[in-house]
Amino acid sequence: MLNRIREDIATAFDRDPAARSTLEVLTCYPGLHAVWMYRLSHALWGHQLFWLARLLSHVARWLTGIEIHPGASIGRRFFIDHGMGVVIGETTEVGDDVTLYHGVTLGGTTWEKTKRHPTLGNGVVVGTGAKILGAITIGHGSRIGSNSVVLKDVPECSTVIGIPGVVVGKNEPVVQDGRINLNHHQMPDPVAEVLRHMLKLLDDVNIRIDQLSSHDESMKRDVMSDMKKEHRKLEKFIEGEGI
C-alpha cells in the first residue's frame, strides 16, 4: 500500500507542473484523495460489503467532488487533475497511466445490468468536460478533446473531438522521454479542415473549367469524376470517418 501511495505521489509530480512539495500533494490534491478512497471502497465491494462501499464512495464525493463507483476497475498511476465533477460509473474499466481532467463523465447508456460503461486503454488522456458514454473502448494512447461526447469505439493512438466525437487523426506517442505527453490542447480543427478542403476543391474546379473547351467532353467527364470523388470524401468526413 505504501508503495502505491508513493507511486501516486510521483505521478502527481510527473503530470502536474504546479506540484511543489510532497506535503502539498498529500494534503491539497482531491484527485489523489478520491483515488485512495476509491481503493478502500473497491476492496469493500470485492468483499460484497456493497452498502459500506457505496457509503464510503459517497463520503469521497462529498469531500472531493469526484464520484467513483466502487465497482469500477482502475489501473495504476491513474491521475485526476483538479477533478471537480468527475463521474466514473460502475462497470468502467480504466487502464494504467490514464489522465482525466475536471468535468469528465465515464457514463452508461442502458438500464440493463451488464457492461454499460466505457473501457479506457493505457495512456488515455481525457480533456476537460468530455463525456464518454456506453460500453465502448477507447484504444491505448488516445486523446479525447475537451467537451467532446464520444459514443463509438476509438482506435489506438487516435485524437477525438466534437459532438458526437469524431476521430480526426493520429496523435504523437503517449510516452516521450519517459513521461506522459499531456499536450491535450493541441487538437486539430475539423471545421477549418473541411473549409480548407472545400475552398481548394472550388479553386481546382474553376481552374479546370476555365481550361475546358465546349467540345472537350472527355475532359468534362474527368472533372465530373474528380468532383464526385471529393464529394464522397466530404460525406465520409461528415459521417465521422475523417478525411
Residue type, 205: V
The rounded distance, in Å, linking the Cα atoms of 139 and 109 is 20
Burial 10-43 (b: 16+ CB within 10 A, else e): ebbebbbeebeeeeebeeebbbbbbbebbbebbe
- pLDDT tens readout for residues 26-49: 898 999 999 999 999 999 999 999
Q: Provide the pLDDT for residue 13.
A: 87
Q: Which CATH architecture has domain 2-180?
A: 3 Solenoid (2.160)
Q: Is the pLDDT of residue 187 over 80?
A: no
The pTM score is 0.70
Band the pLDDT of 184: cuts 50, 70, 90: low
Q: Is the pLDDT of residue 75 over 70?
A: yes
Quick one: DSSP state of residue 119? E
Domain boundaries of the chain, sorted by first residue? 2-180, 190-238
